[in-house]
Structure 1
């Protein structure tokens, strides 16, 4: 070693750059956001029920998961319908009886939920409140009335006076006539029918065009669905298959609307526990 050489161990060590906790937090949140975005866009997504159009199967205050892969993917699979997916990829048609979430025509900017009744090429008509599918009546059997306690999520203003009643304990309820429909593929489900309403129960024949589906709400007399021309914030007309976002699979929470954020114990008393975990 010459006089000018300095031992390596005696050289000053380079100070490590301090790691910014703020930067680490931001990077973590960005990664988490990407994971959540991918999960919600392509695997499962939550959905809450805002209206009574799918009673008795779905009530206001129900929360459910929808699976996103069943019918393929389009721009409507992504948040805010970002146009990153051209057309519809991995496309598959739904089955009659599926409960689907979709972007509602004509604006294609609001999420609705309805049941698939008609597929491309089908002919559908309503006669005396009964679905006629490709010339054959869909069986409709009277079953026990549907009763629903009156709560903040569905109060006396929502239930017409002629359907208001009391249960065995004297509690205020809404009581609707209920029927069981069975489609040709064997899928059965309950519907509500309050009585003869000519504009809803008597229609012409609808021809479902290619690339579209005919959707209806189970609450037949209170559903703006494919029986009516599409209007903003109203009926939906025929729905393009590209608008389908996913299929309802299971309910994970349900509340009657009586809970208060400031009273945590009411979160439990307001829960409709029997509805949690119900599949489709």
Structure 2
């Protein structure tokens, strides 16, 4: 079958942990050079979806492709993607600079080019003065910055960001939003999960709302808010509250994530560190 050239595509993508359905027959398409805002309450299945799309969690059913390559072929998609999970994968005993050097070597970046990129990113995120301190001494915001730089260091075509502004002060959060805008200006694709709806309204080309593993609505921020014009609310927050109002509470995030960790260990899959 001839495939299109969308950045991300899923068909019937499903993940079960025992009797718990974390993601239920998810169909979505994300075009190149766009920001896809992925919304949903805790336990909705957002992180599980991102882990399947980055090959860190094996789907129970369905298929997914990254730039035409199946996510089951991790070697084929590895160079194309960058991933910042909500808890950045860093080694506390390393300095920030050592962490980035280590990751860059894993990505086979030439030494001189790697050093230039590290210096540029450290400057952009105001980390130059702290680059040679141990990550164990970093604040949550500083760890988040290192994790984001790590995800972007090899200049991937498609970037998955799970709560990228978590723990950041307003100035640093503004830098992150500017970086995301720059990425799409240069043709990169960003799959963005966040609870901050103003971020999605500012950056997203398309918004998808996931609830209890189902994609309950999808469209541009303007199109979704236009649906609410006849009602009292007209913001993206109103849309989010409306489409999830009649659903019961989703499974606790910790239940799904703990099950996912166990499943990944059984699958023999580990996250790049």
TM interval, shorter chain, is under 0.3
User: Which entry has the higher C-alpha Rg, 1 or 2?
Assistant: 1
Structure ranking higher in strand proportion: 1
Structure ranking higher in helix proportion: 2
